[in-house]
C-alpha cells in the first residue's frame, strides 16, 4: 500500500499494520489482504462482490476487521457483506470506509452489511466513514446495515461519518426478537456543501426487547443533514430515540423521530433538539487561552465523541 492508502486505513480502522485475528482489507475494488482463524471464516461471494463472515458458535473475545479504502478517482462499487454469528458469541467487528479522491471523477462506495446474530450472542460493531482529497471529483458513500437479532441477542453499534464525504445516505434497519436489545450511537459531521441523510428503523417484535437510538450531528457552513429515527413497538418492549444536533453558519438540519405502538405494553420515548453552541461555553474556553475557532472545535469534538 502507498502512504495515502495507509493513512485511510488508519483513519477508518485505527490500523498501522495488519490486525490480530480475522480480517479482510479491500482496496480499490479488490481484496488486498485476508486472514481467517479457527473460529472465524471469511469467504468470497461467488454471485456478487462481497464476502461472507462466518463466526462459529461459542466464539468469544475475538475481533474481525473489514475496512474498505479507495484512492482511485472514478471508482464506483457496490459490495455485499453478510455476517453469520452463531449462538453464545461475544465479538467485535470493525468496518469503515475511507475515500481519497484527488481526480476529476466521482468516487463512490455503496455497502450492504447484513447481520444474522444467533441466540444469546453479543456483538459490538464499529464503522467509520472518512473522505479526503483535493480533486474536483466527489466522495460518495451509501452504507446500508440490516440486522436480525435472535432471542436474547444484543448488538451495540458505533457508527460515524467523521468528515470529507460529499453526499451520503445511511440506512440502518433492525428486527428484534424476545429479550434482545440494540444500542445505536450514530454521529455525523458535515461542512461546505455536503449533504447527509440518516434513516434508522427498529422493529421490536419480541417481548422484553429494548432499543436505545442516539443520533448526534453537526452541520457547518452550507451543509445539510436529515435524520429520521423510527421505532415500531409490536410487543411488550421498551424503546428510546434521541436526535441531538448543533447547527452552525448557514447549515440546515432536519430531525424527525417517529414512534408507532401496536401493543398496549409497548413503552416508547423520543427526544429531539437542534441548537447552536452556547455562548457561555465559548467564553469559558476562550478565557483559558483558546481562540474562538479552537473553542468551537473542542466543543464539537466533545459533542461527537
Per-residue pLDDT tens digits for 26-68: 999 998 999 999 999 999 999 999 999 999 999 999 999 999 9
Instruction: Report d(CA 6, CA 155) in Å as an integer.
Output: 29
Could you tell me if residue 227 is inside a domain? yes
- 161 with 186: CB under 8 angstroms? no
Instruction: Report d(CA 61, CA 84) in Å as an integer.
Output: 17
Could you tell me if residue 95 is inside a domain? yes
Instruction: Report d(CA 223, CA 40) in Å as an integer.
Output: 41
Could you tell me if residue 303 is inside a domain? no
The chain-wide mean pLDDT, for the chain, equals: 94
Per-residue pLDDT tens digits for 237-258: 999 999 999 999 999 999 998 9
Could you tell me if residue 289 is inside a domain? no
Could you tell me if residue 191 is inside a domain? yes
Per-residue pLDDT tens digits for 278-289: 888 888 888 888
Number of domains in the chain: 1
Per-residue confidence (pLDDT) for residue 296, from 0 to 100: 85
Could you tell me if residue 284 is inside a domain? no
H-helix segments, 70-176: none
Question: Domain of 152?
Answer: 3-278
Cβ contacts of 39 within 8 Å, gap of 6 or more: 55, 56, 59, 62
Could you tell me if residue 294 is inside a domain? no
Could you tell me if residue 90 is inside a domain? yes
- 147 with 111: CB under 8 angstroms? no
Instruction: Report d(CA 129, CA 96) in Å as an integer.
Output: 5
Amino acid at each position: 500500500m502507498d502512504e495515502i492508502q495507509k493513512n485511510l486505513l488508519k483513519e477508518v480502522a485505527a490500523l498501522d499494520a495488519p490486525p490480530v485475528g480475522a480480517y479482510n482489507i479491500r482496496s480499490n475494488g479488490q481484496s488486498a489482504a485476508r486472514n481467517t482463524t479457527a473460529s472465524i471464516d471469511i469467504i468470497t461471494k461467488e454471485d456478487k462482490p462481497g464476502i461472507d463472515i462466518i463466526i462459529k458458535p461459542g466464539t468469544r473475545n475475538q475481533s474481525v476487521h473489514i475496512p474498505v479504502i479507495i484512492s482511485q478517482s472514478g471508482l464506483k462499487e457496490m459490495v455485499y457483506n453478510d455476517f453469520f454469528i452463531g449462538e453464545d458469541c461475544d465479538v467485535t467487528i470493525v468496518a469503515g470506509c475511507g475515500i481519497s479522491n484527488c481526480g476529476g471523477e466521482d468516487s463512490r462506495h455503496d455497502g450492504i452489511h447484513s447481520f444474522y446474530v444467533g441466540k444469546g450472542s453479543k456483538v459490538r460493531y464499529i464503522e467509520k466513514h472518512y473522505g479526503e482529497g483535493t480533486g474536483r471529483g466527489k466522495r460518495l458513500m451509501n452504507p446500508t446495515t440490516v440486522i436480525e437479532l435472535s432471542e436474547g441477542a444484543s448488538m451495540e453499534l458505533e457508527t460515524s461519518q467523521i468528515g470529507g464525504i460529499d453526499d451520503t445516505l445511511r440506512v440502518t434497519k433492525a428486527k428484534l426478537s424476545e429479550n434482545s436489545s440494540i444500542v445505536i450511537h450514530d454521529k455525523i459531521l458535515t461542512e461546505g456543501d455536503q449533504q447527509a441523510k440518516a434513516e434508522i428503523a427498529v422493529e421490536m417484535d419480541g417481548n422484553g426487547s429494548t432499543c436505545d437510538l442516539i443520533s448526534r450531528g453537526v452541520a457547518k457552513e452550507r451543509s445539510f443533514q436529515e435524520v429520521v429515527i423510527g421505532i415500531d413497538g409490536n410487543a411488550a418492549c421498551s424503546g428510546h430515540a434521541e436526535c441531538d444536533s448543533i447547527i452552525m453558519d448557514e447549515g440546515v438540519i432536519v430531525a424527525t423521530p417517529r414512534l408507532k405502538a401496536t401493543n398496549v405494553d409497548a413503552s416508547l420515548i423520543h427526544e429531539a433538539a437542534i441548537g447552536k453552541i452556547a455562548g457561555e461555553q465559548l467564553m469559558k474556553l476562550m478565557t483559558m487561552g483558546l481562540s474562538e475557532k479552537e473553542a468551537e472545535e473542542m466543543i464539537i469534538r466533545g459533542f461527537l465523541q
